[in-house]
Amino acid sequence: MAIKLIVGLENPGSQFAKTRHNVGGIFVSQLARRFSIPLKTESKFSGRTGRGMICGHDVRLLIPDTFMNLSGKAVGSIATFYKITPQEILVAHDEMAFGPGELRLKKSGGINGHNGLRDIVNSLGGSGDFLRLRIGVGHPGDASKVTAFLTSHTLPDAEREMIYSAWELDESLLADLLSGDLQKAMNQLHSSQAKPDVDNKDT
């Protein structure tokens, strides 16, 4: 099924702007700039939204302006208003299971402890059948350090460069992804990073 909505998760506020937890929102902002899609604040959708063409596909972009664990408020409202099904949504978010700069696509499944995804599932009537772009940010090595690692520490320049360069996806890959040819998109993305071609399982 074709993707109609791309969501990037982040926390609002300048103190979080360059943290690991915000890479999903930064990805969507970069995508908006790359394809000249203006984003504007829409209070009824609790976020910044825009609509434009990406590789021949009419797509809406959304960056919730709520805190991460309330992301579903924005996603649920825009999905309901425009009658977008969970299968037509791509959510970009941070993923500690992978190193910085590693991207993986995942079709539906669990939330792996991610509070933003949990709230989105709840807002979609309990459905986790949306596509995820998991953006690797690494792990601090100790569970007690996770919160600070994600939300308080600015991304080091070297890690930020790896992440930002990784999500400059080829237009052919974006076209396959947005058209709903997920197997082809997964194969291209994962093989380019020397990883298995499909990741539909939780880590």
pLDDT at 200 over 60: no
pTM, rounded to two decimals: 0.91
Distance from C-alpha of 174 to C-alpha of 189, rounded to nearest angstrom: 10
What mean pLDDT is reported for the chain? Answer: 91
pLDDT at 194: 55
Q: Which residues contact 142 (CB under 8 A, 6 or more apart)?
A: none
Q: Which residues contact 83 (CB under 8 A, 6 or more apart)?
A: none
The domain segmentation of the chain, as residue ranges, is 5-192
Query: Rounded mean pLDDT of 180-202?
Result: 69
pLDDT at 112: 78
Q: Could you say which of 21, 93, 114, 190 is catalytic?
A: 21
Tens-place pLDDT, residues 44-82: 999 999 999 999 999 999 999 999 999 999 999 999 999
Is 190 tagged catalytic?
A: no
- Correct CATH for 5-192 of 2.40.30.20, 3.30.70.20, 3.40.50.1470, 3.40.50.1100: 3.40.50.1470
